[in-house]
Structure 1
Amino acid sequence: MKDINLQEFCKELHIYEFGIAPWPLPENTKTILYESNPCPFTAADVEERLLGTTEFTPKSAIVCLFPYYVERRGPSNLSRYTWATDYHLVINEYLKKLTEKLQKMDTSAQFSIHCDTSPLADRYMAYLAGLGFYGKNNCFISPKWGSYVVIGTILTTLEFEPNTPLDQSCMGCNRCITACLGQCLGHDEFKYDTCKSYLTQKKGELTVEEEDIIAKTPLVFGCDVCQEVCPHNKDIPTTPIPEFQSVEPYINIDELDSLTNKEFKAKYGNRAFSWRGKKILIRNQNIIERK
């Protein structure tokens, strides 16, 4: 779009990294995204991941990265991406402001905002948009911000020139594979069912083996081990996003017992770990203390 300076709009809104992915996605996308045993938190239907929206026919995908790295000070029992305000809320607000600016330039344009809760293939689209590459730890890695990024996408009827993927890849040191608590990396497919991050969010009874994996670190929600050992995360800058700079890395699990579910939601509803409820967090803490 010649009349729309997307670079300037993003700069004004403090969206520090963005690119354009082609839409529709390339024909080989189905093969690339197919998994024989997908994680339950990912849409199992590849076709669903290619649709994006049924409200209109998009012509472009604006893919934005939101870095969230903040250096840890003091104890932590939560994965780094949950330390600040829930990224879903933050990203939606940024992308909403961007669509409002774009709408003023073309009142007939249509938009749909996606951030992790939709089936859209966000990491693959970020790769197509030239924003980074895949690591052996199954994370998306930005050359500047490392793997501590979350992805937001706007599908739109506006037509922008697509970017091309970066000619860069994971250095392949295998540190993440070696360090992984559940040894879920380094296989033909990501073995989500032994990933600590998945297990800390899994409902129902856990096996002894699953509890052993959870107990290997103090985190009651998520896991950052494969990111902490990754050389691509060395000396990355602190997030420039104000909403991600004020952090609470630790949650007092003893306090949760005295909170009703309503009180828990009122206090922690704006945090990314709250969607699973307090019982899962208490269970995980009990496992860690018991082991």
Structure 2
Amino acid sequence: MGTPDFMPRSAIVCLFPYHVPYSGATNLARYTWATDYHLVVTDYLQRLVDELSSTNPSELFSIHCDTSPLADRYMAYLAGLGFYGKNKCFINPIWGSYIVIGTVLTTLEFEPNTPMTETCLGCNRCISACLGKCLDHNEFKYDTCKSYLTQKKGDLTNNEQSIIKKSPLVFGCDVCQEVCPHNKDLPTTPIVEFQSIEPYVDIEELESISNKEFKSKYGHRAFSWRGKKILIRNNKYIDSKTLQKK
């Protein structure tokens, strides 16, 4: 869903935390451990819209999760829900950066919130830990971010392969979030759909199943959109005996 076909007066911005304590092996970024957040967020926002519509039948609503014509993190900042970290993540004081953002644009008019005065601690741990050193610049150098590279199509250069090799994740990267002090001792997500986790995908299984079988089994996961071939490719550059500890 892209730009709404009406002129919004307000944006309702919601955070959906997904952190679940876990110290075992994984080869996937945390945000992909449970049901695809796009499905979960859209479902919850639809429930909210249904409630608002029941009492405001003449008003219009448009649900967005990674599809907003407006910048999600900036909207969340304006809504007073958190602040920016040096790792370019949006950080909430309670839920840290393990959050996804959902937005409802509406013709309803609400009094705006005030941005927080709290800021990132500025410890620079994320900058030092970044596998591709993509935070060492004035601007985020996305093309050396491991998360980006694990989703990039086609052949990878030797340097890109070496960045992927630096951690066991075949999809995404959590390093800059794992070292962040704002993510220390976080509570478990209250969202039931995010509480049941599968932190590991069996690459040998992926090699033995068809694309149709892959979509049938993993189509509800946030890593599935890129397809199994990319995951298999990434795994070639990783020592499968070394699994990330969370």
- TM bucket normalised to smaller: over 0.9
Greater shift after overlay, 180-189 or 272-281?
180-189
Which one has more relative contact order, counting CA pairs under 8 Å at least 6 apart?
Answer: 2
In the alignment, which residue of structure 2 is the partner of 1:194?
Answer: 144
In the alignment, which residue of structure 1 is the partner of 2:199?
Answer: 249
In the alignment, which residue of structure 2 is the partner of 1:19?
Answer: none
In the alignment, which residue of structure 1 is the partner of 2:71?
Answer: 121
CA contact (8 A) 1:83 1:247 kept: yes
Note the C-alpha offset of 1:120.
3.1
In the alignment, which residue of structure 1 is the partner of 2:228?
Answer: 278
CA contact (8 A) 2:29 2:169 kept: yes
* 2:231 counterpart of 1:231: no
Note the C-alpha offset of 1:73.
3.6
* Aligned counterpart in structure 2 of residue 101 of structure 1, from 45, 51, 54: 51
In the alignment, which residue of structure 2 is the partner of 1:203?
Answer: 153
Q: Whole-Å Cα distance in 2 between the matches of residues 286 and 149 of structure 1?
A: 30
In the alignment, which residue of structure 1 is the partner of 2:238?
Answer: 288
In the alignment, which residue of structure 1 is the partner of 2:243?
Answer: none
* Aligned counterpart in structure 2 of residue 261 of structure 1, from 192, 211, 216: 211
Aligned residue for 1:100, secondary structure, equals: helix
Mapping of residues 160-171 of structure 1, within 5 Å = 160-171=110-121
Q: Whole-Å Cα distance in 1 between the matches of residues 225 and 69 of structure 2?
A: 18
Aligned residue for 1:124, secondary structure, equals: helix
**Structure 1 segments (4+ residues) deviating >2 Å:** 117-120
CA contact (8 A) 1:136 1:186 kept: no
Q: Whole-Å Cα distance in 2 between the matches of residues 209 and 249 of structure 1?
A: 27
The TM-score normalised by the length of structure 1 is: 0.81
> How many residue pairs align between the two structures?
240
Q: Whole-Å Cα distance in 1 between the matches of residues 177 and 165 of structure 2?
A: 18
Aligned residue for 1:288, secondary structure, equals: coil
The amino acid across from 1:176 in the alignment is: C
In the alignment, which residue of structure 1 is the partner of 2:102?
Answer: 152
* Aligned counterpart in structure 2 of residue 177 of structure 1, from 127, 135, 160: 127
Aligned residue for 2:26, secondary structure, equals: coil
* 2:99 counterpart of 1:141: no
The amino acid across from 1:105 in the alignment is: T
The amino acid across from 1:125 in the alignment is: M
Note the C-alpha offset of 1:118.
4.1
* Aligned counterpart in structure 2 of residue 62 of structure 1, from 9, 12, 26: 12
Aligned residue for 1:257, secondary structure, equals: helix
Long gaps (5+) in structure 1: 1-51
The amino acid across from 1:93 in the alignment is: D
